[in-house]
């Protein structure tokens, strides 16, 4: 069954980054997945189709038909499914919204960028390489940095969040959903003004 048989082809891709598998569900690296799950819930969409190496579903967000997408590759190859979907629907990078975790922001804080570098995030690095462009908007969800610099970064981002952290992240995801709607409406400057730095102070 084809997606968008009623609302027409998607104008946007809205991508949450993470790792597949129940064991990674509530880890820091899966903040993007959690936010897209919440978006789907709010839109009444179902992420129950497997295509482009991703779980996906159609939605209307901010009045725009969009494809919600959760890559089912490992994080380091997230760009494979993003690029396949973007090519299939002929969606340019500036209409690919990527939502992901950021350890440089304290847990619960939010930052929106029109474009930019990967900041050392391997999922974003893969998306940039596969799209051939860093010119895609992104919503960064703060998950906090390691308590000690000697703590292995991979172990940190793949570790489960505590109850208080999950509550803080949930608030950031709520704000991320509102920001995503504004971005799809063409109001990214307003979204940045409203939400950049939103959340608990360090």
29 is catalytic: yes
Pick the catalytic residue from 29, 53, 121, 148: 29
Task: Tell the residue number behind the tokens 């991703």, with chain if given.
Answer: 54
Those residues whose C-beta lies under 8 Å from the C-beta of residue 81, and which sit 6 or more positions away, are 52, 53, 54, 69, 71, 72, 73
Q: Which residues pair with 9 in a beta bridge?
A: none
Find, among 29, 39, 75, the residue nearest to 54 by Cα.
Answer: 75
E strand segments, 90-198: 96-102, 110-113, 138-142
Which residues are marked as active site? 29
């Amino acid at each position: 069954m084809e997606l968008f048989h009623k609302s027409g082809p998607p104008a946007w891709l809205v991508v949450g980054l993470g790792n597949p598998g129940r064991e990674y569900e509530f880890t820091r690296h899966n903040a993007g997945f959690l936010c897209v799950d919440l978006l789907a819930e709010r839109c009444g969409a179902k992420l129950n189709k497997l295509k482009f190496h991703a779980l996906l579903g159609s939605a209307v967000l901010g009045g725009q038909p969009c494809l919600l997408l959760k890559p089912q590759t490992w994080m380091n190859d997230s760009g494979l499914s993003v690029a396949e979907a973007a090519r299939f629907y002929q969606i340019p990078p500036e209409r690919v919204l990527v939502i992901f975790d950021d350890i440089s922001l304290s847990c619960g804080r939010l930052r929106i960028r029109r474009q930019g570098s990967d900041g050392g995030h391997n999922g974003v690095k893969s998306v940039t390489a596969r799209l051939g462009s860093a010119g895609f908007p992104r919503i960064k969800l703060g998950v906090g940095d390691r308590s000690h610099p000697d703590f292995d970064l991979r172990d940190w981002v793949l570790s489960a969040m505590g109850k208080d952290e999950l509550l803080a992240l949930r608030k950031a995801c709520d704000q991320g959903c509102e920001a995503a709607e504004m971005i799809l409406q063409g109001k990214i400057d307003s979204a940045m003004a409203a939400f950049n730095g939103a959340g608990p102070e360090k």
